[in-house]
Structure 1
Amino acid sequence: MLTRFAVAPSGFKESLSAQAAAEAIAAGVRRVVPDAEVDLIPLVDGGEGTAAALAAATGGRLVALPATGPVGERVGTHFALIDRDTAVVEMAAVAGLSLVPRTLRDPGATTTYGVGELIRAALDTGVRRILVGCGDSGTSDGGAGALQALGARLLTERGYELPRGGRELHRLDRIDTTGLDPRLKDVELQVACNPFNVLCGERGVARVFGPQKGATPEQVEELSAGLDRWAYVLERDLAVSGLREGPGTGASGGLGAGLAALGARLLPRFDVLLDHLDLDARLARADLVVTAEGALDHQTPRGKVPAEVARRAKQYGRPVLALAGTIGEGAHQVHATGVDAYSSILPAPVTLPEALGRGAEFLTDATERALRMVLLGTQLTELSPSGA
C-alpha cells in the first residue's frame, strides 16, 4: 500500500506557484489515501517564486521595493536575504513574462533594467554573494538593461545612449564601463540557470523562446541578429569570451551572457537551488514521487523540474508520476529521465483563460484520477498469480 508521497512540482506559469501546485496535488492524494504522509517539496528553477522559496527554506526574509518592470513601468518587487552574506535576486520578480500584459508582449521592447536595480539594492545591504535566479523571463535584451542599471553606457556609433530593448542591440557600437558600480568587484555574482540555453546560433534563445514571448518570425530574426551583435561587442569591449554559445548564456533572454560579461559564474540551476531543500533524502523516503509542470514536451528533459526530480528519484528506485497542464510534442522523451508515467490535468478541451484560472482544481482532480489508476494496477498485480 502506498502511504508516503513526495510531492515535488514546479509552478504552472501564470496559473499556480510551486507551493500552490504542491498543495493541489496533496489534496488529490488525500482524496484517495486519507491518512497519507505527504511531503510537500515545491521546487523552483530560478523562475517565479525562487526568492520566496529560498527565504522560507533558510529562515531568511524578503526585502520589498519598487523597481522598473519589463515594459518600463515601476512595479512592486523584492529580493531575498537568505543569510548575512547572501542575497537572491529573482529576475522573474521584476522582468518576468507574467509582468508583461498580453497586449504588450513584444520581446524587442521589454527590458531587464529592473534586474540591475535589484542587484544594486542587494549591494546596498553589504552582502558578499548575490545569486541571480533565471527563468520565466519576458525579455530578450541579453541583459543589456541590467548592465545599464548597473552603470554601463551602451553607445551608438554617434555616441548616443542606446534605448532599452532587444530590438535596439543591432545599433550598439561600443560599451563604456567607466561608470559601472565598483562594488561589483567585491561580490561573488552567481547565476542559477539552465545550461542548455545558449545566446546565439540555431538553438539561440531568441529562436527557441522568442515566439513564447510574443515575437513574430521576423522579430525572431531581428532579435537573433541583435544578440549576435551584443555578444560581439561584449566580448570585444569587456575582454571576455564564450558568450555566443556557452552553457547558460541564453538564460532569461540572454541575461546570463550579460552578467557573465561582468564576471558572474553561470551555474546549473538545480546544483545551486536544490541544495537548500535536502531533496534527495526526501525523495528516498517516498513510496511514490509526484512531480508536475505547466507543459510536458521535448524541452522537459533539457533541464526542467520533472526531469531533474525523476533523475534523482531513480537513484533510489522510486517510481515517478508526472502531471502537466499540456502534453506537447516529444513528451515521451521524459521516460528516459526516469518518469514512469505522465498525464495531462485537463479533463476536456478548455480555453486558455479557463485552464489558467482553474489550474488548482484541475490538478487536484487529475491527481486523484491518476492515483486511483496506480492503486488499481497495484491491486491487479497482487491478485495475479505471477504477482504472488
Structure 2
Amino acid sequence: MRVLLAPDKFKGSLSAVGVVDALARGIAEVRPEWTVLRAPIADGGDGTVDAAVAAGWTRVRVETTGPTGARVSTSYARGGGTAVVELASAVGLELLPDGVPDALGATTFGLGTVIRHALDDGARAIVIGLGGSASTDGGAGMLQALGVTITDADGAPLPPGGAALARAARVDLSGLHPAAAQARFTLACDVDNPLLGPDGAAAIYGPQKGATSGDVALLDAALRVFADLLAAAGGHDARDVPGAGAAGGTAFGAMAVLGARARPGVDIVLELADFAAKLDGADLVVTGEGSLDEQTLHGKAPVGVAAAARAAGIPVIAVSGRNLLSADQIHGAGFQRALALAELEPDPARSMADAADLLRRIGRTIAKDGPA
C-alpha cells in the first residue's frame, strides 16, 4: 500500500508538515510495511512557502518589516528562476504586535521588501500567496518598497497605511525596480472581490482587521483616491478586476503596476509540489485541514487535493480537527470518508493542544481500516 499524505495545516495546532508527521507515525505503528509519501500543502495563504520547501524548493531567509514596521525574520522559497513569497509570513495578521490590529496604519511594505530581495537574487517569476493580510493599503506599501513614490500635495512621501492614501496627490512609477517590469507575477487568490464598494477590500475584510464602520468608509475612499492616481500615472486600472480586493487590495496594487494575474491558490500549490507526479502509483490519499466546513467546499486545499486524486481514480480520506459537513457534502466533495479529532476528544481546547497525538491515533485507524 502506498499512502500519500497531503493535508493543509491545522491552524492554531500544527503546521501541514506536523500533521503529516503525526499521521505517518500512526500508520507506521500498525502498518510498517506501507510506503508513506509526504506532500504537505496549502491553499495559497500561510504555509505556502513551507509546502514549496517540503516539495524540494530552497528556503531563502530574509529580514523585513512586519505590518506595523517591527523587524521580522521570514523566508521565501526558490526553485530555478521562480520565487514563492508569502504575505502572511511578512505582513500578516499573526505578526501584529501583541495581536493588536492597526486597521488604518498597517502596511504591506515588508512584503515588497521580500519581493525586492527575490528580484535582486535573480528571480523572474514571482508567486505571491495573499492570505492572512493585516492591512488595507491597496498594496501601496509593497509598491513603495519596490520603488514607487506616493506623495501628498506638498510633495512629501506618505506615511504607511491605507488611511494615509486619502491624502495622496501624486504617484510616480518611474522608480519601480527595473526587474519588476520584466518579471511575471502570479497571485494565489481565492476571492473575487473588487477593490472598492460594498463588496470591496475595506467593506468585506476591513472589520476582520479591526476597522470600525467609520474606518471602512475612510479606507474605501482612500483606496479610490489611490486607484485614480495609479491610473493617471500609467498603471492598469484594475479596481474592478475580480480578486482585486484580495488581501486588503494588495492584489489590486500587484495587478495595476506589476501586471499580476490571479489563480486559485490550491492549483498553484499543487503545481509547485508536483502533486500529479506524487499521485502516480498511490493507492490512497489522505488530506484535510483544521475545520471541514462550508468554506472548505469553496476552493480550499482539501477539495483541490480530492479533485486531483479523484481524476486519477484514487480514494481520498479527509482528516480534520472538526467536521461540520454532512455525509452528502463529504461524498460530494470527493472524500470517501472523514475522520475528525473531535470524535476522539470533544473538548476543542484539548483537541488543539493534543492534535499531534490524536492525529497519530487517526493514522492508526487509517492503517487498520484502509480506504474503506
Tell me the TM-score normalized by structure 1.
0.82
Residue 383 of structure 1: aligned partner? none
The yes-or-no answer on 1:363 pairing with 2:372 is no
Q: CA deviation at 1:225?
A: 4.5
* Aligned twin of 1:182: 178
Query: Does 2:254 correspond to 1:259?
Result: yes
- Inter-partner Cα distance in structure 2 for 1:370 and 1:171: 58
Alpha-carbon spacing, 1:40–1:126, altered in 2? closer, same or farther (3 Å): closer
Greater displacement, 357-366 / 3-12: 357-366
Percent of pairs with identical residues: 39
Q: Which residue of 2 aligns with 1:324?
A: 320
Shift of 1:17: 1.9
Distance 1:227 1:333 in 2: 39
Aligned to 1:69: 66
Count of residues in correspondence between the two structures: 369
Change (3 A) 1:293 1:106: farther
| Correspondent of 1:235 among 216, 231, 238 | 231
1:23 to 21, 24, 31: 21
Q: Which moved more, 1:70-79 or 1:7-16?
A: 7-16
Name the residue aligned to 1:277.
273
Distance 1:49 1:238, change over 3 A: same
Deviation at 1:290, TM superposition (A): 1.2
The C-alpha deviation readout for 1:190-224, integer Å capped at 9, x for no partner, is 33333545434544344444444444555455544
Matches within 5 A, 1:114-153: 114-153=110-149
Counterpart contact for 2:107–2:162, Cα < 8 Å: yes
Determine the C-alpha separation between the residues in 2 that align with 1:51 and 1:113: 19
8 A contact 1:132–1:190 mirrored in 2: yes
2:243 maps to amino acid? G
371 and 201 in structure 1: CA distance in 2 versus 1, 3 angstrom threshold:
farther
Cα pair distance change 1:295/1:223, threshold 3 Å: farther
- Cα distance, 1:284–1:207 mapped onto 2, change above 3 Å: farther
Change in Cα spacing, 1:206 to 1:303, as seen in structure 2 (3 Å) is farther
Q: Does 1:338 align with 2:340?
A: no
TM-score, normalising length: structure 2: 0.85
RMSD: 3.1
Say if 1:112 and 1:145, in contact at 8 Å, map to a contact too: yes
For structure 2, list consecutive stretches of 5 or more residues without a partner in the other structure: none
Give the secondary-structure state (helix, strand or coil) at the position aligned to 1:262: helix
Paired residue type of 2:72: V
Which residue of structure 2 lines up, in the alignment, with residue 87 of structure 1?
83
Structure 1 position 305, deviation (Å): 0.5
Does the 8 Å contact 2:40/2:54 carry over to 1?
Answer: no
> What is the distance in 2 between the residues matched to 1:343 and 1:228?
46
Deviations 1:267-321 (A, max 9, x none): 4234433224331243353333211112322222322101101111111232222
CA distance in 1, matches of 2:115, 2:297: 31
